[in-house]
Amino acid sequence: MATVNFLYRSTKLKAPLTLRLLYRHNDTDHVFSSKVKYEVEKDYWKKHFKNTKDAQLKKQQLEVNTELQNIENHILGAFKETDINDISKEWLTHQVHLYYNPSTEHNFSEYTIDVIQQIINEAPTRENGKGGIGLGTCRINAYKRLKELFNEFQGKRKIKIKELNSNKFNEIKTWLLETKNYSSTYSTKKLSDLKGICKYAKGKGIDVAIDLDSIKTKQASAYDDDMDVIALTAQEIEKIENTELTSKALINARKWLILGCYTGQRGQALTTRITEENFKPYGEDLIIKIIQKKGNIPINIPVLPKVREIFENGLPYTVSIQKLNKHYKEIGEKAGIDDMIMGRIQEKGRRGVKKLRPKYKYLSTHVGRRTFASLHYGEMPTPLIMKVTGHKKESTFLNYINQAEDTHIGAFLEYYKTKGLKERKEPKLTVIKEAN
């Protein structure tokens, strides 16, 4: 429980009061102080807490108490909404600043952390990339993660929006890549989000760095040419199906893995939407009707034989994505999915460490979607596969499964076959001998 009190700490006859915040955490007492702008006279303060019948003094006490109570309510309210580990002298000073400079529609805080929080607060009413209203959960989480990272980067000194110039962006970039060991893709995305924060602030009348527009934060492709696409082959799926498992949790997780590979759905879409009520009749067959969370796309998934078999024998019970990821790796190891392949995973606190590892170490809930796409690519028209995976562009889909765009190949080969150009003789070259 935190408390606030006010002290007169000055040799002057009239001075601002000092606010003191006191609280206990982990059996340790903490005390932080900060000046407020409210001034009182030294002689008055000596009589402020005394009972009096003096009407003039009582009136002044009421006025002072009203203002100090407003300040106290502001500080304690902010205290309740803040992670206890983020409380510091700098935090207290910042909250006092916000009391006198509240964020309103026409008067936003100039501190980067506050602007990020403002966007998070506005998430339900912000226009999204689809032209609708309201940011999705993933986008909100991205801003929350940006806030956490920026808070870690800035430390105790609060960085203002206008301080985010090209030099500061380069400093943050180096910190993300070298100190945090994040991939270039992830780091560039966070920098892009941060520049978006600055543009938002500029639109609200907050001063920004004069070179903001010249800062380049082009998002790196999430599908680099050398990206290692982790997908299971039909033979590996068969090995997983035939592996003897005794653990109820692993048997349940295997069902989810097979469902993922033959429905093309990821993570939460798999575990929360592949449910009995979403299976619908389609003539003599079945389909699964869902709304894909990413992109809010309606999807009709054909119920393939392996999916129907699981459905008729009982769908798996719901389990967290974290546990599924762990179970998938254990299942893969037991099934001997151990070919050495290149990939990125977090290792000893380092994000995106790329090296050769046994394939089972990369198995996660996302592997099902890529497996579905890879298994059917080349066997069925790509647009039909995309209707299940939810991809809108063929180029994006091909990058997703690490396939080059190859529609031109057939045209060239067919041209040479039909025109007989393969048998055309090359023209003879005339060799001119140099005279002696």
pLDDT digits (tens, 9 = 90+) for 17-28: 999 999 998 888
Question: Distance between CA atoms of 405 and 407, rounded to whole angstroms?
Answer: 6
Q: Which of 306-310, 375-379, 389-393 has the highest mean pLDDT?
A: 306-310
pLDDT recorded at residue 375: 85
- State the average pLDDT over residues 337-360: 77
Q: How far is CA 146 from CA 34, 74, 90, 152, 244, in A?
A: 28, 26, 20, 10, 44
Return the higher-pLDDT residue of 436 and 56: 56
> Thinking of the domain 234-408, which architecture would CATH place it in?
Orthogonal Bundle (1.10)
Q: In which element (H, E) is residue 289 found?
A: strand 285-292
Grade residue 213 by pLDDT with cuts at 50, 70 and 90.
Answer: confident
Domain ranges of the chain: 3-100, 112-214, 234-408
First to last CA, the chain: 106
**Contact criterion met (CB below 8 Å) for 105 and 99:** no
Grade residue 436 by pLDDT with cuts at 50, 70 and 90.
Answer: very low
What amino acid occupies position 238?
A: E
pLDDT recorded at residue 39: 93
- State the average pLDDT over residues 258-284: 88
Return the higher-pLDDT residue of 153 and 292: 153
pLDDT recorded at residue 26: 85
Q: Give the whole-number percent of the chain exceeding pLDDT 90.
A: 41
Helix (H/G/I), strand (E/B), else coil: 130: coil
pLDDT recorded at residue 337: 93
Q: How far is CA 324 from CA 224, 316, 363, 372, in A?
A: 27, 12, 10, 18
What amino acid occupies position 39?
A: E
Q: Which among 185, 179, 190, 95 is positioned nearest to 147, based on CA atoms?
A: 190
- State the average pLDDT over residues 90-114: 79
pLDDT recorded at residue 292: 61
pLDDT recorded at residue 107: 59
The yes-or-no verdict on residue 408 having pLDDT over 70 is: no
The Cβ of residue 198 has, within 10 Å, a number of other Cβ atoms equal to: 22
The yes-or-no verdict on residue 223 having pLDDT over 70 is: no
pLDDT recorded at residue 413: 64
pLDDT recorded at residue 435: 45
**35-44, 102-111, 153-162: lowest mean pLDDT where?**
102-111
Q: In the predicted model, what is the mean pLDDT of the chain?
A: 83
- State the average pLDDT over residues 2-8: 93
Q: Which of 114-128, 158-172, 389-403 has the highest mean pLDDT?
A: 158-172
The yes-or-no verdict on residue 220 having pLDDT over 50 is: no
pLDDT recorded at residue 254: 96
The yes-or-no verdict on residue 295 having pLDDT over 90 is: no
* 3-7: strand order across its sheet: 3-7, 14-25, 28-41
Question: Distance between CA atoms of 109 and 100, rounded to whole angstroms?
Answer: 11
- State the average pLDDT over residues 276-294: 83
Exposure class string for 85-100: b at 16+ Cβ within 10 A, else e: eebeebbbbbbbbbbe
pLDDT recorded at residue 396: 64
**Contact criterion met (CB below 8 Å) for 338 and 358:** yes
**Contact criterion met (CB below 8 Å) for 183 and 231:** no
Q: Which among 397, 396, 395 is positioned nearest to 385, based on CA atoms?
A: 397
Question: Distance between CA atoms of 69 and 17, rounded to whole angstroms?
Answer: 13
- State the average pLDDT over residues 242-247: 94
Q: Which among 359, 325, 362, 323 is positioned nearest to 345, based on CA atoms?
A: 362
pLDDT recorded at residue 110: 87
Would you tell me the crossing angle of helices 321-334 and 248-263 to the nearest 10 degrees? 100
pLDDT per position as a tens digit, 364-379: 888 888 888 888 887 7
Return the higher-pLDDT residue of 221 and 297: 297
The yes-or-no verdict on residue 428 having pLDDT over 60 is: no
Tokens at residue 229, please? 């696409």
- State the average pLDDT over residues 62-75: 92
